[in-house]
Structure 1
Amino acid sequence: MRSLSLALAAAALAVAFVPVVPAQAAALPAVQFVKIYYNSPGSPDNGANSSLNGEWAQLKNTTRKAIDLKGWTLRDKTSAPDHVYTFGTFTLGAGKTVTVRTGKGTNTSTTRYWGRSGGTFAYIWNQTADTGYIRNPSGKLIDSCSYNNSRAASVNCL
């Protein structure tokens, strides 16, 4: 009986000294939103490429390994199929960020272009409220970022 009491006391002490990890630290997604710049300088306008590229979403690889983003998607809350950006062949280095701009341009290792044009309907991010979603190739939600503020131009998602 005494050894049972000692075992229970030892177990209670062990539980008391288990370090507590905040839920936020434990649930860090592999790729997460850093920022969405939804109110580009000069908008609303006629959807000039410079203004379209003034709205963007920045994503970060939070891991210590490069991640192949081929087939991953970035989208906003609308169900419009043309509001989905699908990564082609692209690897995001460990701890690195990539900015996905709405308009046209030449893709680099740090900037990708959605390739949209066609006036005011070419914008992706609503100027008052929206939600961005990142999904892996199998469609699993990896991260999201929402905003509801018409007085700001961007939202920090971290």
Structure 2
Amino acid sequence: MRTRTTLTCLLTAISATAATLTLAAPAAEAASSVHLAKIYYDSPGVDRGSDASLNAEWVTITNSTSRAVSLKGWTLTDASNHKYTFGTYSLGAGKTVKVHTGPGRDTTGNRYQNRGWYVWNNDKDTATLRKAGGAKADTCSYNSTRSDYKNC
């Protein structure tokens, strides 16, 4: 009888441990992704509307996977549906790209929406990153005027 009770306790402990390990797995997968990292929504300076001011408003996207990911056809939108669509572009493993609002010449680490006015509201907004097929990859929202940026 004592052996049966010990065996039952042991099996219960193993089941609880397995359940804990199973629950932890999705969090590890979520951390390994292409995701929004930061939104700098209130650009500094007094030269409102200048290219420099527009480009000081940006969103960073990070690839925390161990392989490059093609972002061709991926979109970045705000709550008002201002949309930036990536052309042919691959974000390297462990790399970050900054998507600026204003005009500029695209590089590996910087992409430009080429807009003539601001996208991100200074008080509240939501950034949504979608894959080429339309599936949501990530979202990040803020609702504060106490800061100029939001770490996602």
TM-score (norm 2): 0.87
Q: Deviations over 1:112-153 (max 9, x none)?
A: 000111xxxx21100000000000011111101110111211
Higher share in helix: 2
- Alignment: residue pair count: 149
What's the % identity of the aligned pairs?
43
Q: Deviations over 1:63-116 (max 9, x none)?
A: 11100000000011113xxx1000000000011000000001111110000011
1:71 maps to which residue? 73
Q: Deviations over 1:31-80 (max 9, x none)?
A: 111110000012682x111110010000000111100000000011113x
Distance 1:110 1:63 in 2: 17
Distance 1:88 1:4 in 2: 64
**1:143 is aligned to 2:142:** no
Instruction: Specify the code of the residue in structure 1 equivalent to 2:34.
Output: V
Output the aligned Cα RMSD.
Answer: 2.4
Whose relative contact order is higher, 1 or 2, with alpha carbons under 8 Å and at least 6 apart? 1
How do 1:103-142 residues align onto structure 2 when only pairs under 5 Å count? 103-117=102-116, 122-142=117-137
Of 32, 36, 59, the residue aligned with 1:33 is: 36
How do 1:1-12 residues align onto structure 2 when only pairs under 5 Å count? 8-12=8-12
2:87 maps to which residue? 88
- Structure 2 unaligned residues grouped into runs of 5+: none
Distance 1:53 1:154 in 2: 14
Distance 1:52 1:95 in 2: 27
- Structure 1 unaligned residues grouped into runs of 5+: none
Of 109, 133, 156, the residue aligned with 2:151 is: 156
